[in-house]
């Protein structure tokens, strides 16, 4: 095959893919009529919700023009500012940590001590990312995912396993909704349930999801160790194995100094502070970003470098995150366009008719499927809760579906495919930073997502049968 032919088969860059989806939204707006629900803001809680009885079609006389299309990109990047700033600050701090040598020396020590127990380290990393996801840290983990990938590759596995250990951990933690204010908290508030009620049921779900993903990761790890040709990153993995053999005889672990230890402690403290602050003090992105900056300043002091050199190191890390930051912004632009052409509410209104006259069990299954599909259009967990819960909440009451069950149907339907649909900017940023393309991820993860989705659906059906209560 010629070089020109190989280039033709290259998978589109994430920015090309997201721009193509924006074009599909514009084309869809020519065929799908515009419609709107009335939004009502609760004066006490400040939550804006949809009035389910208020839908009406509206006439649009301003089609999306060329300028509008690119303005949506600007707006998408602008509206994703908090996430993008988080990426810049955390990537800068991590670059300082890398420059200190703490990561390289630390990983070599971990590899030496984990000899024969490498898979245990992978599972522990998976557990750490699961815990971060469970407290609602989705986008906040983006800059940490490549670190997990590096550690797992140093342990002798491939890039895919390293990426998956982190991404699937965040995925199941976030999806479980254990103490996730963005999905569980918002959804329960809208339907009038006590905040974070049903935690015991969600914990059982989290354990089930963790067991499934852990077994899946362990099976893949054993498979590629036995036959590296079965790796989804085969060429790179075979090359890494050869290089590791050549370097093993002359590898110099290096001294682990007090500076290395202190820098790793600073990073650990910054990481732990985020979920603690989020749960106990109501921290948002600004406060979490502040911990990254504080950590970066402390690392600069410990490094003892010229301040200009430290600043250049910080900026090098921040600039490296630019492709992922743009991916997040362009993914958000898809939602901006959908709001502009006003077709989101029309899609919801059309789906409502599907559930009329069906049994509660059938309705739960259909609602779950609809949420999974709708997640490709509106990825934001809290945003989707505001759109869907005011509709499916009252509808559930009419159909005889437990409200707590409906909340769990929503959070499970929302979560898993956040790490599958290419419209999810945070997810695409994660795999982009780990140098895994979307097709490779789909090949690796689709079976796992099917298993998790079936398990989640079984859980909510059990909840309906046993009459899961508000607490």
Can you tell me the mean pLDDT for 337-361? 79
The pLDDT of 397-419, averaged and rounded, is: 87
> Does residue 452 register a pLDDT over 90?
yes
Tell me how far apart the alpha carbons of residues 18 and 334 are, in angstroms, rounded to a whole number.
8
The residues, ordered by sequence, that sit 6+ positions from 174 with a Cβ below 8 Å of its Cβ are 133, 134, 136, 137, 138, 180, 183, 381, 415, 418
Tokens of 443: 């090949």
Cα gap 51→365, rounded to integer Å:
24
| Token pair belonging to 431 | 């795999």
Does 205 score more than 90 pLDDT? yes
* Mean predicted confidence (pLDDT) in 340-363: 79
For 235-239, what is the mean pLDDT?
Answer: 88
pLDDT tens-place string over residues 29-67: 888 889 888 877 767 655 566 677 788 898 876 778 888
Confidence (pLDDT) at 440:
93
Residues 250-269: tens digit of each pLDDT:
445 567 788 888 988 998 88
Averaged pLDDT for residues 220-228: 94
pLDDT exceeds 50 at position 249: no
Average confidence (pLDDT) over 297-304: 90
More confidently predicted of 357 and 233: 233
Q: Is the pLDDT of residue 171 over 90?
A: yes
Token representation of residue 339: 């709001």
- Give the rounded distance of the alpha carbon of 426 from its chain centre: 5
pLDDT in tens, 183-199: 887 788 777 788 778 88
SS3 assignment, position 149: helix
Highest mean pLDDT among 6-10, 76-80, 137-141, 198-202: 198-202
- pLDDT at residue 14, as a whole number: 73
Tens-digit pLDDT profile for residues 127-165: 989 988 887 777 778 878 888 898 898 888 999 999 999
> Nearest CA to 314 among 107, 136, 98?
98
pLDDT of amino acid 1? 45
């Amino acid at each position: 095959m010629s070089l020109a032919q190989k280039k033709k088969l290259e998978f589109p860059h994430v920015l090309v893919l997201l721009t193509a989806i924006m074009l599909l939204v514009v084309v869809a707006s020519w065929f799908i009529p515009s419609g709107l629900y009335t939004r009502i803001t609760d004066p006490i809680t400040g939550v804006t919700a949809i009035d389910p009885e208020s839908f009406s079609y509206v006439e649009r006389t301003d089609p999306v023009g060329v300028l509008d299309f690119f303005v949506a990109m600007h707006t998408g990047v602008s509206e994703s500012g908090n996430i993008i700033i988080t990426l810049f600050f955390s990537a800068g701090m991590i670059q300082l940590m890398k420059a200190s040598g703490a990561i390289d020396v630390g990983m070599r020590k971990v590899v030496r001590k984990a000899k024969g127990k490498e898979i245990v380290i992978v599972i522990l990393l998976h557990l750490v990312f699961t815990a971060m996801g469970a407290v609602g840290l989705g986008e906040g983990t983006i800059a940490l995912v490549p670190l997990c990938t590096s550690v797992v590759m140093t342990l002798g596995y491939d890039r895919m396993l390293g990426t998956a250990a982190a991404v699937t951990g965040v995925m199941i933690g976030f999806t479980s909704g254990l103490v996730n204010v963005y999905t569980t908290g918002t959804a329960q508030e809208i339907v009038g349930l006590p905040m974070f009620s049903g935690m015991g049921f969600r914990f059982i779900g989290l354990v089930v999801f963790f067991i499934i993903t852990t077994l899946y990761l362990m099976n893949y790890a054993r498979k590629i160790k036995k036959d590296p040709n079965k790796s989804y990153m085969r060429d790179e993995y075979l090359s890494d194995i050869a290089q590791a053999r050549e370097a093993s005889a002359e590898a110099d672990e290096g001294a682990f100094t007090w500076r290395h230890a202190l820098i790793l402690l600073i990073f650990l403290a910054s990481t732990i502070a985020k979920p603690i602050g989020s749960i106990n003090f109501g921290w948002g992105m600004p406060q979490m970003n502040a911990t990254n900056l504080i950590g970066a300043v402390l690392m600069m002091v410990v490094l003892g470098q010229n301040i200009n050199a430290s600043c250049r190191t910080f900026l090098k890390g921040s600039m490296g995150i630019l492709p992922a930051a743009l991916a997040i912004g362009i993914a958000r632009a898809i939602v901006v366009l959908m709001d502009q052409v006003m077709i989101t509410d029309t899609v919801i209104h059309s789906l409502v008719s599907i559930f009329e006259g069906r049994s509660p069990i059938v309705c739960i299954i259909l609602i779950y499927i609809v949420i999974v599909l709708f997640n490709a259009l509106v990825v934001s967990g809290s945003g989707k809760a505001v759109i869907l819960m005011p509709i499916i909440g009252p509808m559930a009451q009419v159909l005889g579906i437990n409200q707590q069950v409906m909340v769990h149907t929503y959070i499970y339907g929302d979560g898993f495919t956040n790490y599958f649909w290419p419209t999810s900017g945070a997810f695409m940023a994660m795999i982009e930073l780990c140098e895994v393309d979307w097709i490779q991820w789909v090949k690796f993860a689709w079976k796992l997502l099917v298993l998790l989705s079936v398990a989640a659906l079984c859980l909510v059906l059990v909840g309906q049968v046993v009459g899961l209560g508000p607490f």
